[in-house]
C-alpha cells in the first residue's frame, strides 16, 4: 500500500497518556477467546526489540494466529445458506448492480448496432472503471482482477481497469481505533504512545495509520480493516456467482469456466481479509528475496497483529512513480525498476512465489536506494513445471518457432490437450514476425502483451491466474520505467536473467531449451552462444563454472548420444579452424619469398582453400576465441574450474569422445593435404564452416 511513504512524514500525531510497560495474562476463571489479546510487550534478553522478535517470534506469530482463528474463509455453500434466506437484502443489492451494469450493457448494445463498438472501446472502458469504483470494494477488486485477464478483456479494457488503485473514501477513525482495541484486547493508549489522528492511506479493504509502539518507541504502520467488509463482499460474491451460473449456461461466446474464475477470485479476496495470512506472506517473501542488499521487506510485529489489524515496520520511502521526489534524493528510477525486474524474475521463475499486486503504491524507493515491497495480501505461485516452460517459451519466441510456442500452451495449462493448436500458429506468426523484427533491446513488452492478448482473446484459451499476474507485474514495471525513460524496454533489462538461466540451470527442460537454441539443422550456432554469454555476464549472479559443468554432464550422460554426435562434428570443425587459422597466420606473416617456396607457390597459400572458405574458417576461430575470452574474463573465473573437465575427459566416455574428435580432425587435415598435393581445386562454399 501507499501507506509507508515520506509524504506522510508531515502528518500530525497526538500523544496518548503515559502508561507503564504492560503484559496480559489470563485472569482467574476466565478463558481467553480466539481474539483475546496475548500481547507480551516489553524487552527481553538484551533489551532490544530485535532480540524480542528473534527469541519470541514464533510464539508471537502463534498468538496472532489464535486471534485470527475465526477469520472468514470463502465458502460458496455458506454464502448461499446465509443470503438465500435474506431475499430483500439480496434483491436491493441486485437492483443496484443491475442498474449500473445494465446501463453499461445497453450502451454496448447501441454501439454494436451503430457499428461504433470498436471506436468507443476506450470510452466504454473508462465508464466501466467508474462503475466498478462506485459499486464498492468487491467490484474494485473485480476490476483489478479483470485487468490481468487478456483472455477475457480487450487491451483497452485491460489498460483502464489496471488504473483502479483502491481509491475509496476513508471510514471513521473512531471505528478504526475501536477495531484495534477489540482485536488486540487492550486500550489503544496502552499499545501506542502516539498514532496519527487520521489515516495516511486508504484502500478498498482497509486503511493505514502511522503509530509509535509504547514499549519500544518503534515507528510502525497499522493497517485496520474496513468495518462490515466481510458482509459487503459476501453478498456481492453470492450474487456474482449466481450470474456466473447464468453465463456458463446461456452465453456461448465465453469459453472460460466463469464459476471457477469467480471462486478463484473470491478466495484471493477473502485471503486478503485475513491480516495474519498477509503477515505470513510478508515473512515468507522476506525470507526468499530480502537476501539481496537492494531489496527491503518490512518486519511484522506479531504481538500487534490479528485477523483485522496488521502492524508492520514503518518504511520511509517515495512511491516509484514519483520521479522528481526520487531524483531529489540522488536516486535513479531506472536503477530501482531494474532491481524490481530482477527480483520479479527470481520470484516468478526460481522460487515461484511472487507479489501479485506490484502497483506504484506498493513499491517504494527508500532514501538508502533500496526497493521496498509492501502489501502482501495478494500473492500467487508459479507451478514448478511452468517456471521452466516459461523460459522455454521465450526461447521459442526468439527462435520464431511458432509451432513449439503453440505446443507450450499445453505445458503452461492454457489449453487442454484435446485442443488442436494448428489454427493458432498462423495468428502467432502474423503478430510475432512483425514484433520480432526489432532487436531484444528494442522490443516493448507491453506491445508483446497486447498482441498476445489479442491472440488469447480470439481463441479458446484459459489463461491461468499466475500467468496473467506475471504479465501484469512486468507490464507495470515497464510502465514505471517509461516515465523516466521513454526508450526503456523491460525485455532488454530481463534478458540477462534469461540468458544466465539458460547457460547455468541444470534443469533438464532448460538444458533442452539451450540445445534447441544453439543447434539448428545439425550445426552449432556460435553467434547465439556468444550473444548468450554477453547478456548472461550482465547478470550479477552469473557463474562461469555453472555455465560449463551442466553441459558436460549432459554431453557425457547416458541420454547424450545425439548431442555427442553433434558435438563431435562441431569439435572437428573448431579444431580444424584453430589449426588452419594458425597455419594461415604463419603463412601470411612470412616474407614473400618464403611464401613462394611453400607448397610450390600455390596461389591459395599453404591451405588449398578458397578465399570464402578461408574467411569463414578464420571467423569461426575468432568467434571461438571471443567466447573463450568472455568466459575467462568473468569475475569468478578460475583456471582451476577446468580441472573437472579434464577429469571428465579421462573417463571412458570422455576418452572415446576425444578419440573420435582427433580422428575426425586427422581425416579433415589429411584430405586437405592430399588435395593440396594433387592440386585439386576447391569448390567455393556458400555456408560457413
By annotation, the residues acting in catalysis are 357
3-state secondary structure 555-588: HCCCCCHHHHHHHHHHHHHHHHHHHHHHHHHHHH
**CB-based burial of residue 439 (10 Å sphere; 0-12 exposed, 13-18 middle, 19+ buried)?**
exposed
Residue 452, φ and ψ in degrees, nearest 5? -65, -35
How many Å apart are CA 618 and CA 578, to the nearest integer? 8
H-run or E-run covering 635: none
Sequence-separated (6 or more) residues with CB below 8 Å from residue 627: 526, 529, 530, 533
Alpha-carbon distance 521 to 542, whole Å?
Answer: 29
385/658 Cα distance (integer angstroms): 36
What is the C-alpha to C-alpha distance for residues 664 and 191, in angstroms, rounded to an integer?
Answer: 80
Cβ–Cβ under 8 Å, residues 560 and 517: no
Q: Is 382 exposed, middle or buried (0-12, 13-18, 19+ CB in 10 A)?
A: buried
What DSSP letter does each residue of 283-325 carry, written as one string?
HHHHHHHTTSTTEE-PPB-GGG--SSEEEEE----EETT-HHH
- Measure the CA angle with vertex 440, ends 434 and 441; round to 5°: 115
The CA distance from 321 to 473, in Å, is: 15
Q: How far apart are CA 554 and CA 603, in angstroms?
A: 45
Cβ-based neighbour number of residue 537 at 10 Å: 20
3-state SS class at 86: coil
Burial class (CB in 10 A: 0-12, 13-18, 19+), 653: middle
45 three-state secondary structure: coil
User: What does 226-264 look like in DSSP terms, one character per residue?
Assistant: PTTHHHHHHHHHHHHHHHHHHHHHH-TT--S-HHHHHHH
Q: At what angle do helices 490-504 and 384-398 cross, to 10 degrees?
A: 110
Strand ranges, E, within 516-627: 519-520, 523-524
One-letter-per-residue 3-state SS of 655-672:
HHHHHHHHHHHHHHHHHH
Q: How far apart are CA 497 and CA 350, in angstroms?
A: 11
Q: Which helix (H) or strand (E) holds 380?
A: strand 379-381
Per the structure block, which three cell numbers stand in for 30? 476466565
Beta-carbon contacts of residue 577 (< 8 Å; ≥ 6 apart): 617, 618, 620, 621, 624, 689
Task: Label the pairing between strands 14-15 and 201-202.
Answer: unpaired
Q: Are 381 and 387 in contact (CB under 8 A)?
A: no
Strand-strand pairing, 371-373 and 295-296: parallel
| Grid cell digits, residue 460 | 479458446
Amino acid at each position: 500500500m501507499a501507506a509507508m511513504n515520506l509524504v506522510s512524514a508531515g502528518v500530525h500525531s497526538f500523544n496518548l497518556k503515559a502508561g507503564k510497560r504492560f503484559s496480559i495474562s489470563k485472569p482467574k476463571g476466565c478463558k481467553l477467546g480466539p481474539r483475546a489479546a496475548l500481547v507480551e510487550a516489553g524487552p527481553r534478553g538484551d533489551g532490544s526489540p530485535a532480540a524480542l522478535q528473534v527469541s519470541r517470534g514464533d510464539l508471537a506469530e502463534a498468538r496472532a494466529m489464535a486471534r485470527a482463528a475465526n477469520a472468514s474463509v470463502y465458502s460458496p455453500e455458506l454464502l448461499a445458506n446465509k443470503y438465500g434466506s435474506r431475499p430483500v437484502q439480496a434483491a436491493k443489492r441486485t437492483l443496484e448492480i443491475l442498474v449500473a451494469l445494465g446501463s453499461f450493457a445497453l450502451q454496448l448494445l447501441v454501439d454494436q448496432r451503430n457499428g461504433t463498438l470498436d471506436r468507443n472501446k476506450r470510452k466504454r472502458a473508462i465508464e466501466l472503471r467508474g462503475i466498478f469504483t462506485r459499486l464498492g470494494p468487491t467490484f474494485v477488486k473485480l476490476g483489478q482482477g479483470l485487468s490481468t485477464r487478456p483472455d477475457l478483456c480487450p487491451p483497452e479494457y485491460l489498460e483502464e481497469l489496471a488504473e483502479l488503485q483502491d481509491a475509496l473514501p476513508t471510514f471513521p477513525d473512531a471505528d478504526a481505533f475501536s477495531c484495534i482495541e477489540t482485536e488486540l484486547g487492550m486500550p489503544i493508549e496502552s499499545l501506542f504512545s502516539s498514532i496519527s489522528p487520521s489515516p495516511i492511506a486508504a484502500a478498498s479493504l482497509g486503511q493505514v495509520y502511522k503509530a509509535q509502539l509504547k514499549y519500544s518507541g518503534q515507528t510502525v504502520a497499522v493497517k485496520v480493516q474496513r468495518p462490515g467488509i466481510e458482509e459487503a463482499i459476501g453478498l456481492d460474491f453470492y450474487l456474482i456467482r449466481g450470474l456466473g451460473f447464468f453465463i456458463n449456461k446461456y452465453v456461448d461466446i465465453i469459453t472460460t469456466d466463469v464459476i471457477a474464475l469467480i471462486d478463484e477470485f473470491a478466495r484471493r479476496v477473502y485471503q486478503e481479509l485475513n491480516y495474519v495470512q498477509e503477515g505470513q506472506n510478508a515473512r515468507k517473501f522476506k525470507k526468499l528475496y530480502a537476501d539481496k542488499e537492494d531489496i527491503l521487506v518490512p518486519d511484522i510485529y506479531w504481538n500487534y497483529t490479528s485477523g483485522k489489524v496488521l502492524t508492520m515496520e514503518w518504511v520511509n520511502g517515495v512511491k516509484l512513480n514519483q520521479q522528481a521526489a526520487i531524483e531529489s534524493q540522488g536516486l535513479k528510477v531506472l536503477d530501482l525498476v531494474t532491481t524490481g525486474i530482477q527480483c520479479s524474475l527470481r520470484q516468478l521463475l526460481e522460487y515461484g512465489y511472487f507479489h501479485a499486486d506490484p502497483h506504484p503504491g506498493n513499491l517504494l524507493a527508500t532514501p538508502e536506494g533500496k526497493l521496498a515491497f509492501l502489501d502482501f495480501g495478494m500473492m500467487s505461485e508459479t507451478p514448478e513445471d511452468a517456471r521452466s516452460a516459461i523460459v522455454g517459451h521465450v526461447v521459442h519466441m526468439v527462435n520464431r518457432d511458432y509451432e513449439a510456442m503453440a505446443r507450450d500452451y499445453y505445458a503452461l495449462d492454457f489449453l487442454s490437450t484435446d485442443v488442436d493448436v494448428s489454427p493458432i500458429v498462423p495468428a502467432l506468426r502474423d503478430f510475432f514476425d512483425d514484433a520480432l523484427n526489432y532487436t531484444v533491446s528494442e522490443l516493448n513488452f507491453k506491445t508483446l502483451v497486447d498482441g498476445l492478448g489479442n491472440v488469447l482473446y480470439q481463441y479458446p484459451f484459459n489463461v491461468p491466474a499466475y500467468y496473467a499476474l506475471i504479465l501484469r507485474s512486468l507490464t507495470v514495471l515497464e510502465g514505471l520505467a517509461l516515465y523516466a525513460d521513454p526508450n526503456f524496454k523491460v525485455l532488454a533489462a530481463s534478458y540477462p536473467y534469461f540468458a544466465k538461466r539458460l547457460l547455468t540451470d541444470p534443469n533438464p527442460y532448460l538444458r533442452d531449451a539451450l540445445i534447441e537454441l544453439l543447434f539448428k539443422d545439425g550445426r552449432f550456432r556460435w553467434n547465439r552462444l556468444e550473444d548468450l554469454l554477453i547478456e548472461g555476464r550482465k547478470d550479477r549472479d552469473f557463474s562461469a563454472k555453472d555455465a560449463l559443468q551442466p553441459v558436460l554432464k549432459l554431453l557425457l550422460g547416458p541420454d547424450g548420444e545425439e548431442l555427442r554426435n553433434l558435438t563431435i562434428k562441431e569439435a572437428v570443425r573448431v579444431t580444424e579452424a584453430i589449426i588452419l587459422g594458425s597455419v594461415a597466420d604463419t603463412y601470411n606473416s612470412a616474407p614473400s619469398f618464403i611464401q613462394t617456396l611453400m607448397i610450390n607457390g600455390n596461389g591459395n597459400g599453404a591451405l588449398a582453400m578458397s578465399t570464402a572458405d578461408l574467411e569463414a574458417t578464420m571467423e569461426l576461430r575468432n568467434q571461438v576465441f571471443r567466447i573463450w575470452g568472455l568466459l575467462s574474463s568473468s569475475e569468478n573465473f578460475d583456471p582451476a574450474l577446468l580441472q573437472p573437465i579434464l577429469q571428465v575427459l579421462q573417463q571412458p566416455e570422455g576418452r572415446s569422445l576425444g578419440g573420435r574428435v582427433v580422428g575426425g580432425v586427422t581425416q579433415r587435415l589429411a584430405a586437405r593435404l592430399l588435395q593440396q598435393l594433387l592440386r585439386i581445386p576447391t569448390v567455393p562454399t556458400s555456408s560457413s564452416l
